[in-house]
Structure 1
C-alpha cells in the first residue's frame, strides 16, 4: 500500500487543474495512468517536471532503448522494483530481448558502446557523482560526445527521482514484476 495517496484517475475529463491535464496526456501516452504518475500528481509542479523530463529525453539524441537500459541498471542498484518492472517492459517494447534487459539490469551489454554508457551511469549513481577523469574519458572513448554524456547524466537524474519516489512511498507496481538481482 502506498504511503501517500494515489490521485484518483477514474474521471480524467473531470480532473481539476494542471495535474488533471497532465494526467490526461499521460493516459494518452500509455493507455492508462501508471501508479507512479498518480503518486507524483499530488504535486502538479513535480508532475510537470517529471513528465517534461520524460518528453525532453524522449526527443534527445540517445536511442530510447539505451534510456531504458540505463533505467533498469539504476533501478536495480536502488532496489526500485517499480522502475525495474516499468522500464523492463518499456525496453522490451523498444525492441530489446529479455536477455538484453537482464544484462542491462546487471549494468552489462554485449555492445561495447552501450556497456560504457551503463558503466558510466552506474558510476555516477554509486559515487553520488564523485566520478573521476577516467570515468568521463572512458565513456568518451566509447564514442559518446559531450552532449550525449550530459544526456546520460539527465537520464541518471530522472531515474534517481523516480526510483526515490517509488521506493520511499512504496508505490504499488502495476507492470509485470521483474526480480531484483541478488545482492
Structure 2
C-alpha cells in the first residue's frame, strides 16, 4: 500500500490535469510514480522537463539512458524503477532482455556504453565523488565533458525517482522485476 497519496488523472483539474497530459505525452502512460509526484506539481513539472530535455536534446541515446536507469535502480534496490526501466528498455529503447540484465550489473558489450556504465556506477557508489582516474577513463573511451555531465544528470534523476518510489512504497504498475532476482 502506498504511503503517499496518488492523484487520479481522471479527476485532476488545472495545473495537475495539464501535467498529467504532459506526462502521458512524454511517457505514453501516467504511471503511479507521476501520480505521487503530482502531490507537488512543481516536482512533477521539473521531472517532466528534465526527462523531456534529456531525451530530446541530450546526446545520450535512449538505450544508454535506460541502461543507466537500470544500473541505478539495481544499485539502489528500487524494484519500482527497475521494473519500469526493464520494461521501457526492452520495449521502447531496443535493449534485449540480456542487455537489460547486463546493464543492471554495469556491463555492456559496446565499449562506449560500458564506459558510461562504469562512470555511472562510480557516481552512484561513491555518491558523486568520482576519482580523477574514473573521469580520465571515461574520456579515453570517448565521452566528452558534455556527455559526462549528461551521465551525472541521468544518475541524479534516477536516484531521485528511486528514492521517491521507495519512500512512498509506490505500487508497481509494470511487470514486476526485483533487484534480488
TM class by shorter-chain length? over 0.9
Q: Which residue number corresponds to residue 26 of structure 1?
A: 23
Q: What is the aligned counterpart of 1:76 among 74, 77, 82? A: 74
* Correspondence 1:95 to 2:94: yes
CA distance in 2, matches of 1:140, 1:31: 35
- Which sections of structure 2, spanning at least 5 residues, go unmatched? none
Asked if the contact 2:22/2:48 (under 8 Å) is kept, the reply is no
CA distance in 1, matches of 2:54, 2:28: 20
Asked if the contact 1:106/1:181 (under 8 Å) is kept, the reply is no
- Which sections of structure 1, spanning at least 5 residues, go unmatched? none
Cα displacement (A) at 1:28: 3.1
Q: How many residues align?
A: 179
Q: Which residue number corresponds to residue 159 of structure 2?
A: 160
CA deviation vs aligned residue, 1:118-146 (integer Å, no higher than 9, x gap): 11011011111111100100111111111
Cα displacement (A) at 1:31: 4.0
CA distance in 1, matches of 2:160, 2:14: 23
CA deviation vs aligned residue, 1:8-40 (integer Å, no higher than 9, x gap): 1224xxx22222201012123444310000000
Asked if the contact 2:71/2:105 (under 8 Å) is kept, the reply is yes
Matches within 5 A, 1:104-183: 104-181=103-180
CA distance in 2, matches of 1:154, 1:69: 14
Q: Which residue number corresponds to residue 51 of structure 1?
A: 48
Scaled by the length of structure 1, what TM-score is found?
Answer: 0.94
Distance change >3 Å, CA 128–CA 29, structure 1 → 2: closer
What is the SS of the residue equivalent to 2:2? coil
Scaled by the length of structure 2, what TM-score is found?
Answer: 0.95
